[in-house]
């Protein structure tokens, strides 16, 4: 499953000049497996928290630990996405970065 942001980014990359588009697509392909893995880890952590909250074996300390795990996985995903964004920004001139950000903000 691809998030709306990733879909929008993919659409908007088509508007880049060929050289930058090729570099950006290669970068996204490099990050894709890591992003998928981290999204999966976050989903697993969320499912574990939901499962405990709805179970007869509910325990507040365990729920707190599971929510801490959700926060940890979410932070890892956010950090990875931000690294990818910075790596993409490194490859684009300022005008193209600005145009890409503008198009992405409109596509949400």
pLDDT confidence of residue 1: 42
Task: Quote the pTM value.
Answer: 0.81
Taking the C-alpha atoms of residue 59 and residue 4, their distance in angstroms, rounded to an integer, is: 35
Residue 45: count other Cβ atoms within 10 Å of its Cβ: 19
Q: In a structure prediction context, what are the per-residue pLDDT tens digits for the chain, which is 108 residues long?
A: 456 666 767 777 888 889 888 998 899 889 989 999 999 999 999 999 999 999 999 999 999 999 999 999 999 999 998 999 899 889 888 988 888 778 777 765
| Cβ-based burial of 23 (10 A; exposed 0-12, middle 13-18, buried ≥19) | middle
pLDDT confidence of residue 10: 74
Task: Report the residue count for the chain.
Answer: 108
pLDDT confidence of residue 95: 87
Contact yes or no for 24/16 (Cβ under 8 A)? yes
How far is CA 6 from each of CA 31, 44, 103, rounded to the nearest angstrom? 11, 21, 13
CATH of domain 4-107: 1.20.120.1490
pLDDT confidence of residue 3: 60
Domain extents for the chain? Answer: 4-107
């Amino acid at each position: 499953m691809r998030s709306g942001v990733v879909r929008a980014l993919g659409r908007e990359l088509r508007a880049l000049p060929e050289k930058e588009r090729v570099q950006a697509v290669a970068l996204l392909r490099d990050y894709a497996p890591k992003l998928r893995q981290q999204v999966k880890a976050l989903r697993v952590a969320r499912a574990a928290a939901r499962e405990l909250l709805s179970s007869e074996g509910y325990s507040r300390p365990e729920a707190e630990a599971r929510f801490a795990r959700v926060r940890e996985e979410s932070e890892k995903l956010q950090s990875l996405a931000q690294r990818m964004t910075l790596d993409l920004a490194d490859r684009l001139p300022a005008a193209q970065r600005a145009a890409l950000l503008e198009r992405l903000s409109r596509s949400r």
